[in-house]
Amino acid sequence: MADLADSGTSAHAYPPIEEYGVVGNLETCALVGPNGSIDWFPFPHLESSTLFAAILDADRGGQFRLAPTAEFETDRRYVDDTNVLETKFRTDDGTATVTDFMPPVDRTDHPREVLYRKVSCSRGTVDFDVEFEPTFDYGRAEANVESVDEGVLAEADGERVLLETPIDVEITGDRLVGDLTLEAGDEAWFLLRCAATENATTDPEAALEETKAYWSDWGHSCDAGDDCAFEGPWHDYVVRSQLVLKLLTHAESGAIAAAPTASLPEEIGGIRNWDYRYNWLRDAGFTVQALLNLGTGDEATDYFDWFMDLCQAADPEAIQPLYGLHGESDLDERELDHFEGYRGSSPVRIGNEAAEQLQHDIYGELLLAVDEMCRHGRALTDGEWARIRAIVEYVRDIWEEPDAGIWEVRGGDRHFVHSKVLCWAALDRGLAIAHHGDHEGPLQEWQATRERVRADVLEHGYDEDRETFVQAYETDALDATALLLPVLGFLPFDDDRIQGTIGSIETQLVEDDVFVRRYDGDDGLPGEEGSFVLCSCWLVDALALSGRVDDAQSRFENLLEYLNPLGLMAEEIDPESGAHLGNYPQAFSHIGIVNSALYLGYANGNETPGPPPMGVRLGEPNVDLGE
């Protein structure tokens, strides 16, 4: 385990973020630490309050720990290409494995709201400590824990969970403790039933085998000799990223969470702690591209239908930057003052007030996703086109206004270059969708506005003296989002202004040839943050599509070395220590990995399963309707 600096509490109570594994059932997720402790588990849904939250407060958050009594070393892995997690403990006296999983909710053979923990011994004898301390409503509700015929029942404020345990236990207040001794060949099961399913029969071994089969059947696969778009030394990391994205997908709605956690810090001890258990519409375009090229068309369609329904339910001006996974719009941000935060990082926030911000880039992201679906064969209904047309018309009205931007700065609205370019993209993709789908609309007006936006960005968003695009009008700050300009088709990759911008970002935002910071300059918040994994992927993309393929591949392979041994990545990386920062695992980071592998594959001559991805449609000029 990595050595942690003192943060005002016991450092060993907080494992490094990157040492956690994650399991889930397509409704919620649990984080399992290297010490056999489940330290994060919202229920019944990902955005619900928690049963365990020790990752945010080691003393008050609650946990469910199965770990050897003696000192141990740990190895961890997912079973093949599944989301079944194995933690192997080695002591001087023996070896034992804890297997954690939840059956996906669309498997009807077994109760869907059960967290399974299997303990098996393969060598010698291993004594286990068992600790079960559920906390309800982020530790704010007083729990009652008592023995019942079926096991141990914990309840508070009408919520209840049942732990089926094979051992005798001692209950002290709201905490259960016990011990378990296993010899080679022995196994034991702990079943945490998280709903009123006490009378449901369960065959744990059958549930395990069916869960393995579900994930193995679902994931991306290709045989030797197949033309795979993701061929390369990173192929297995792409498959794991796909499995992460599926794990963050809500089965009922199709929405994809940005991460399964809340308030993991971007700076240890700092205040940049946010709740990411929601879906950001800004992720739409590149998410759809990743899912479609991975061959997961059903998931791409479900996600597409979900956000199109959101657009239908609200006028364009009322569309929010983010929503709950069931489409909830009220994401009121609150602080949990009774939690100390991960390693003393406070405040601990739940909810996210960014839902109330103006972020004009979301309209471009939505149109990118629609265009991507159409290029893969999706025919729009008249109703869908009407929604899209209304969005493009709205963009014509608001593109000149300032906004909070993609990074959700809290220092006031500005004229962000990225937001302007995404408004341009909304108009550009609207024209393309209308042109190729033979849809009606005021296309001449859209084209005229598109050219006005482009001219405005080139005049006010480009610094001719420094030969680079800047973050916002009337500022010197750089922003990694400028790496997306050629990917979006705003300018070609060989344009001197694009190459100058890439060079400026390499000089000012890149550290150790791997890590890319989001931006420089003030963002209205104190403290620092790590490098943003997605921005590092954007640089890989820009280099690969600029013809610097060897450079791009080297940077990508170096970045992948910071994946944890399970293939998981947080939002950010500390360039000095290599530690993961921010919420974890992060969907955007894994989307970046998938798309960078796709672009590198394309640059190396691999065939894509559908039309060329964004950024390599260089032979397709922007739709021009003439005068």
**pLDDT tens profile 511-566:** 998 999 999 987 878 888 999 999 999 999 999 999 999 999 999 999 999 999 99
Beta-bridge partners for 156: 159
User: Please, are residues 50 and 33 in contact by the beta-carbon 8 Å criterion?
Assistant: no
Beta-bridge partners for 94: 124
pLDDT score of 8:
34
Nearest to 608 by CA among 218, 369, 600: 600
Q: Given pLDDT bands bounded at 50, 70 and 90, which one contains residue 106? A: confident
pLDDT score of 1:
32
**Mean pLDDT to the nearest integer, 214-235:** 85
How far, in Å, CA of 13 to CA of 114, rounded? 26
- Is pLDDT above 50 for 142? yes
User: What residue has token string 């935002």?
Assistant: 509
User: Please, are residues 423 and 363 in contact by the beta-carbon 8 Å criterion?
Assistant: yes
Q: Where are the alpha helices (DSSP H) in 64-125?
A: none
User: What residue has token string 């070395």?
Assistant: 561
Beta-bridge partners for 468: 463
Alpha-carbon distance values, 370 to 2, 169, 279, 530 (Å):
44, 55, 17, 32
Give first-to-last CA distance, the chain, whole Å: 66
Count the Cβ atoms, other than its own, within 10 Å of residue 513: 12
Contacts of 35 (CB under 8 A, 6+ apart): 15, 65, 67, 74
Contacts of 223 (CB under 8 A, 6+ apart): none
Q: What pTM does this model have?
A: 0.95
pLDDT score of 157:
85
User: Please, are residues 608 and 229 in contact by the beta-carbon 8 Å criterion?
Assistant: yes
User: Which domains does the chain possess?
Assistant: 19-198 (2.70.98.50), 235-603 (1.50.10.10)
State the SS3 of 582-610.
Answer: CCCCCHHHHHHHHHHHHHHHHHCCCCCCC
Query: Torsion angle, CA of 606/610/612/614, rounded to 10 degrees?
Result: -120
How far, in Å, CA of 350 to CA of 264, rounded? 11
User: Please, are residues 447 and 625 in contact by the beta-carbon 8 Å criterion?
Assistant: yes
**6-10, 263-267, 343-347: which range is least confident on average?**
6-10
How far, in Å, CA of 247 to CA of 544, rounded? 29
pLDDT score of 225:
65
| Phi, psi (deg, nearest 5) at residue 612 | -55, 145
User: Please, are residues 127 and 180 in contact by the beta-carbon 8 Å criterion?
Assistant: yes
Q: Given pLDDT bands bounded at 50, 70 and 90, which one contains residue 108? A: low
Alpha-carbon distance values, 59 to 52, 274, 489 (Å):
11, 21, 51
Alpha-carbon distance values, 440 to 143, 364, 443 (Å):
60, 19, 8
Nearest to 177 by CA among 168, 190, 186: 168
Contacts of 438 (CB under 8 A, 6+ apart): none
How far, in Å, CA of 308 to CA of 311, rounded? 5
pLDDT score of 197:
53
pLDDT score of 521:
81
What DSSP string runs through 270-288? SS---B--SEEGGGHHHHH
- Ranges of beta strands (E only) in 45-143 are 50-52, 63-68, 73-78, 85-90, 94-101, 114-133
How far, in Å, CA of 223 to CA of 494, rounded? 36
**pLDDT tens profile 585-625:** 999 999 999 999 999 999 998 888 788 888 776 445 566 76
**Mean pLDDT to the nearest integer, 109-122:** 89
Q: What percent of the chain has pLDDT over 90?
A: 83
pLDDT score of 618:
46
Distance of CA 196 to the CA centre of its chain: 30
**pLDDT tens profile 457-514:** 999 999 999 999 999 999 999 999 999 999 999 999 999 999 999 999 999 999 998 9
**Collapsed DSSP state (helix, strand, coil) of residue 226:** coil
pLDDT score of 4:
33
How far, in Å, CA of 398 to CA of 122, rounded? 64
Helix (H) or strand (E) holding 22: strand 21-24
User: Please, are residues 143 and 53 in contact by the beta-carbon 8 Å criterion?
Assistant: no
User: Pairing between strand 37-42 and 50-52?
Assistant: antiparallel
pLDDT score of 201:
63
How far, in Å, CA of 372 to CA of 365, rounded? 11
User: Pairing between strand 175-183 and 322-323?
Assistant: unpaired
Q: Given pLDDT bands bounded at 50, 70 and 90, which one contains residue 627? A: low
Q: How many CA atoms lie within 13 A of 238 on its CB side?
A: 27
Long-range contacts of 169-173 (CB under 8 A, 24+ apart): 169/130, 169/132, 171/145, 171/146, 171/147, 173/145
Average pLDDT over the chain, rounded to an integer:
92
